[in-house]
Structure 1
Amino acid sequence: MTAKDSNCGDLYTLTAMNVESRLFIGHHEGGRSIDDAIELFMDVDEKREKNSQIPVFTSDNWDAFKDGLVYVYGKLKTPPYKGTGRRPDPVIVPSDDLKYAQVCKKRRNGKIVEVVQRVVFGDPDEVLEILCGDSDGKINTSYVERLNLTIRNSLARFIRRTMNESKDPVMHSRALDFIQAWYNFVKPHRSLRVEENDGRRKWRQRTPAMAEGLTDHIWSLEEMFTFRVPVQ
């Protein structure tokens, strides 16, 4: 792209995943604004069952995530009238079911010197009990960080200071779609394997899509490329 192209410049990729199944739920390419966070969470909300409970969210300490969650999962509430002046307009406040925690990493000279956990929405004790049950009392964001590393290692477009950078935002997003399908259906995840009780120590490998119940086997690349998405 030329310097006059409005699409030229930095393009950030926001990702979302289900920690339990490691399912790569969605991605959004754009800037670092509240609108970009809203786009990501709207995509996540469209893919969950409408009668299901709002998932518990975790992220780093980027404030746009907080505002985006309130926009997507918030509700209108009218502040109490104080008796003078015009009545206040309704404002968007977090839903009672919204639970969100942040992991704030403080760095000094490029090294992490402190990690602070902060519950933003929801009852702190309840949120920490849900998130820290299997992690020694710590909120864990390493899974999505590992996903981001897998994307960077698997897609040359994310390698810094090379000639492989994306030159078209549409094709960049399509490349992420391919990685998302490959990660969910083709690539087995070591932490998802289950032991088979057949008298021998044997493991059955699983992909995130298998753990989520979307398929019952590991797909080949041929199956992924030839699969026809049902028309809804």
Structure 2
Amino acid sequence: MVLSHVVGERNQVMAREIVAKTAKRLASIPLFVTDGFRFYAGALLEQYGQWIEYPPTGKRGRPRKGRLVPNEELKYAQVIKNRHEGRLEEVIKKTVFGKDIETELISTSLIERLNLMHSRQIP
């Protein structure tokens, strides 16, 4: 099932848009699995993150800045494929946010197949 799609260049704006569209259509936070595209982690953190403020310490110096941390329910993993001279050498499955993500669940093969099908249909 495709929840949302964006046509155009892969960039930070696209990553934010696809994550926001997907979040609108879901009642809960699913497991997200993507390729190693760097902007997805930031987009997911913006959508599902929580802002943490640190209380003043009373000590001298600049106070500690607040920061955006992932929601405890957010689970995000990447499948990074390393190639050398066009040949696949290594596949790395990396957990970015969340705990207890089963390795078998970390796969992008379904979306890769869908993308291949769509690319063959477009002249």
Question: Is 1:46 aligned with 2:13?
Answer: no
CA shift, 1:25, in A, is 1.3
TM-score by length of 2: 0.88
Q: Aligned-pair RMSD on alpha carbons? A: 1.8
TM-aligned CA distance change 1:85 to 1:29, over 3 Å: farther
Q: What is residue 36 of structure 2 aligned with on the other side?
A: 61
Question: Is 1:101 aligned with 2:77?
Answer: yes
Of residues 49, 67, 80 in structure 2, which corresponds to 1:74? Answer: 49
Q: What is residue 98 of structure 2 aligned with on the other side?
A: 122
| Number of equivalent positions | 122
CA distance in 2, matches of 1:85, 1:35: 36
Structure 2 gaps, min length 5: none
Secondary structure of the structure 2 residue equivalent to 1:30 = coil
Of residues 83, 91, 108 in structure 2, which corresponds to 1:141? Answer: 108
Question: Is 1:111 aligned with 2:83?
Answer: no
CA shift, 1:86, in A, is 3.3
CA shift, 1:26, in A, is 1.0
CA shift, 1:35, in A, is 2.3
CA distance in 1, matches of 2:8, 2:119: 17
Q: Which amino acid aligns with 1:34?
A: Q
Structure 1 runs of 4+ off > 3 angstroms? 79-82
CA distance in 2, matches of 1:35, 1:91: 21
CA shift, 1:87, in A, is 2.5
- CA-to-aligned-CA distance 1:95-153 (integer Å, 9 cap, x gap): 11100111111100011001111111111xx211xx626xxxxx221100001011111
Q: What is residue 153 of structure 1 aligned with on the other side?
A: 120
CA distance in 2, matches of 1:31, 1:95: 28
Of residues 70, 79, 104 in structure 2, which corresponds to 1:132? Answer: 104
CA shift, 1:72, in A, is 0.7
